[in-house]
Chain A
Amino acid sequence: MLARGCWRRPALRSERRRLGSAAPRYEVVVIGGGHAGTEAAAAAARGGARTLLLTHRIGTIGEMSCNPSFGGIGKGHLVREVDALDGLCGRMCDAAGVHYKVLNRSKGPAVWGLRAQIDRQRYRDGVQKEILSTPLLTVREASVEDLLLTEPEANRPGKCQVTGVVLGDGSTVCAGSVVLTTGTFLRGRILMGLEAHPAGRLGDPPAVGLAQTLERLGFAVGRLKTGTPPRLAKDTINFSGLEERVPDNPPVPFSFLSKAVWIKPEDQLSCYLTRTNLRAQKIVLDNLHLNDHVRETTKGPRYCPSFESKVLRFPNREHQVWLEPEGLESDVIYPQGLSMTLPPELQEQVIRSIQGLENAKILQPGYGVQYDFLDPRQLAASLESRLVQRLFFAGQINGTTGYEEAAAQGVIAGINACLRVQGKPPFIVSRTEGYVGVLIDDLTTLGTTEPYRMFTSRVEFRMSLRPDNADARLTHRGFEEAGCVSQRRYEQAVQMRAALEDGIATLKSLQFSISKWSHLVPEVPISSSRRSPVSAFDILRYPEANMEILARAIPEPLRKLAEWRELSERLKIEAAYEWCVANQQQEIEEVRRDEALQLPEDIDYFAIDASLSAEVREKLNSSRPQTIGAVSRVPGVTPAAIVNLLRFVKTTYRTEKPKAFPQTGKYLPGNVDLEKANPQTQISAGISEDKLGSTVVKTPF
């Protein structure tokens, strides 16, 4: 009999021998075909691992189970970063959108939010086509009931390691590492009015066996809730009189590889805005007794509340409802902002009280979902579990919400599952390098009590981590360290980086007096208090300036820079942000230095002889920070505690060998002079002064 859920020591050897001959073997097995699972499987396969993707139904791979849109403010940044690591979702969106719009256009390129309404059908088809044709990637329809486990590897945290999975039919598959991306399917419950039934998504069964296994293994589990609005029939809606939102022309693609999106600008669809009123509020308030989901204490997202909770928290006002198309041919409209769990007949009353929806027909009522998630503080920054070796988690199971958050974790988990099998060091994106780094650090250090969504306000170095430079930040590392980036993309990124560096150098070398500039570019109001001479790069940072204006004034050598549209746009952004980014550089260095100081993974905070209060020990034990940088972000840890911890670790772990850590940095083309080498050191290794004091990385300019 196979050991299920927990390993039994006496039988191990014979089992393994038996399995070795019978069961199929993959280097990486990914469970789940949602946005995290597809990205994880594709990334592992790109990295060179023989990969198996297991899903309940191949037909639902790439399904967008909630809103029909991708991106947004903060989320658009994540899509760009997934794309920079050669992930799927950016390219898929460029081939499936029906309404592209960059949000926050007026607020500066650091916070632009690339967003698109997506044709669900096209997106799903695109992802399935891509996944089914990815080399080294096999897809199988099967449910996973259990994990195969064995003794742990020495010198790593974890009480056992995963060696494969047990499928619904009792057969087994062996795996070098396993990525779990089961979304809301862990003990999912769907709620509508007073009815509740177990399910992940409407119509799909939840994964109960796996949830029990994880609980038996000792994973801390929490419960979250979310919801989705009713879907409406397009031809029953009266759009006249509603505020129309038109898409961008030309649309901005998500992917660095796309020159343009698939759809003709003029063929795009519009969205419409309507508002709720007090009649809708009254229906909700009169029927709270019929609404279990709203009354329960499980945490829902504050930023994506159900209509009921909006009415309760901000009464007596109108609430926005966006009417979004679900596809080019689709007859379905998604009323964004109207997530509800009222009984269906009352949902209909609410809908019909709204302008434009007086005769709207509900195709599918809204419902709430409650589901288990695993406390992400049990994961390392590589997304590998500290409890079970070689088991990775990504997506909604870690307490996040949103396709983009799931996809970003999926890429990182897939890369690391692959690197783990190859015996290479993990691929960690720092908070200073990307939104995905902030996302994973927040989750693994601080955990979450509500579904975690990306916001730009969570990001300390927002001025540096922009959508325009995601490739400069991540593509090179993805190629060199993770092997998950294609040659073509890498070459394109290298070319762009060189062109940016050249362009900046050229612009900086063009220096004239202010009076000459005023003559050359009269449309730019140059301040006369500036000291002469002024470079073209300085001029470019004026809001009134751009590369076309400069190239008209100085055709040689600027015309060829201005003619390359992407390049000239990026030069403009680099110029505008140079000052701000330079100001942040020192702080970035500080964070990196602290992040380079790794804490031993097996440290027992309750037992160690360091001067730490019981409260601090408790906090450190529950969040298990992996670096001193992470320690300093744990609330309630004092500066003295940090220093005492450093001292303890330094004196106790003196003899261990340093670990290899990925080299970060050199991604900000405008700013390389300021950047010093990042001393990547484990605390336990004595630090050599020479190495720290003198190395300065000079990026070729």
Chain B
Amino acid sequence: MSKLKNAMSLKQFMIRQEVLQMYRSYLRLGRLIQGSDEESSKKLQLEWNTWVRSEFDLRKNEKNEDVIRNMLVIGKRQLGELNRSIRISNG
């Protein structure tokens, strides 16, 4: 009985999958980052990954579904903006 209680609802499962997908998208975006040379590129990518991870860690204990959904919307919008910025800076 307790196993059933702890199981995620389908909605929760879907939201969680969206979050994980967004995390992956952020990390893939980081691969596009270029510095002036190979060493600086790696440093920038390391900083990016650390930053993304900390942003997700900050919010991972949120339980309220509406708040989570809101964060997803904001996160996706920011992903698009950062995507554009990075592509512009790469020239």
A binds B: no
Give chain A's interface residues, CB within 8 Å of chain B: none
